Amino acid sequence: MEKFIVEKAIQDIYPDDFAWCYGCGRLNKDGHHLRTGWEEEKTVTIFTPDSKYMGIPGFLYGGILASLMDCHGTGSASLALHRKNGHEIGDGAEPPRFVTASLNVEFLKPTPQHVPLKAVGTVEEIHPKKWKVDAEIYAEDTLCAKGTVVLVVMPSTFLKNDG
Ligand SMILES: CCCCCCCCCCCCCC(=O)SCCNC(=O)CCNC(=O)[C@H](O)C(C)(C)COP(=O)(O)OP(=O)(O)OC[C@H]1O[C@@H](n2cnc3c(N)ncnc32)[C@H](O)[C@@H]1OP(=O)(O)O
């Protein structure tokens, strides 16, 4: 049986100042705490949404799948650039941070509630500051959604102390 766990996640090593995202920030007590890691050459995020994220009884609200894809995208791009820079989670180096430039989601099948969702990403570098993640979201073995996320290295203008 497949193990539904991400052991080493890039979000675990984001610096505290960048660990507040509602989707994936470990310090946001109200957030989803999404965690993204490598599974061979693919990236993976596992998430079982709470019951309140209902679209119709028994099925998920689509926006929560978009949230999963969004943070799966930023985490995947960060993992990939971190590796390209010669680092792996746990070696003490600070990972790069990305923001989402665009998010495209196709909802392919109704997505059941109360089962772990698995987002699987294929990461591609467009150029060093711009990456693309093709993502698929599975509920058990059913492909329920797919999409493409374009990520850009976080501009310095996002930093509170900038300027
Ligand atoms: C609030 C988040 C805080 C951050 C925390 C981080 C850590 C936590 C992570 C968790 C976060 C969770 C996730 C979140 O919620 S992240 C929050 C949601 N996202 C944002 O708020 C981003 C808002 N947008 C911007 O700041 C700018 O528009 C960006 C930075 C994206 C581009 O700005 P700008 O355009 O001035 O920069 P550039 O001229 O150097 O262009 C760079 C490249 O990007 C290309 N491009 C631009 N737009 C698009 C587009 N729509 N589709 C495709 N590509 C696009 C552009 O063509 C160029 O490519 P190329 O022509 O060179 O090939």
Question: pLDDT digit string (tens) for 34-81?
Answer: 999 999 999 999 999 999 999 999 999 999 999 999 999 999 999 999
Task: Please give the C-alpha separations between residue 113 and each of 4, 24, 55, 125, 144, in angstroms, as whole numbers.
Answer: 16, 20, 9, 33, 12
Q: What CATH class is the domain 10-157? A: alpha beta
Residue nearest (by alpha carbon) to ligand 1 atom 11: 99
Q: Is the dihedral of CA 83, 32, 151, 111 positive or negative?
A: positive
Strand partners, 54: 60
Are 116 and 99 spatial neighbours (Cβ–Cβ below 8 Å)? no
- Encode the chain (163 residues) as per-residue pLDDT tens digits: 456 789 999 999 999 999 999 999 999 999 999 999 999 999 999 999 999 999 999 999 999 999 999 999 999 999 999 999 999 999 999 999 999 999 999 999 999 999 999 999 999 999 999 999 999 999 999 999 999 999 999 998 888 754 4
Mean pLDDT of the chain: 95
- The tokens describing 28, both together, are 């946001």
H/E run at residue 37: strand 36-39
What's the CA gap between 58 and 11, in Å, rounded?
30
Q: Of 21, 81, 152, which is best to mutate to test ligand 1, by the most ligand atoms within 8 angstroms of its C-beta?
A: 152
* Interval between CA 156 and ligand 1 midpoint (Å): 11
Residue nearest (by alpha carbon) to ligand 1 atom 61: 130
At 74, phi and psi to the nearest 5? -65, -40
Q: Give the pLDDT score at 1.
A: 40
Query: Does ipTM come in above 0.85?
Result: yes
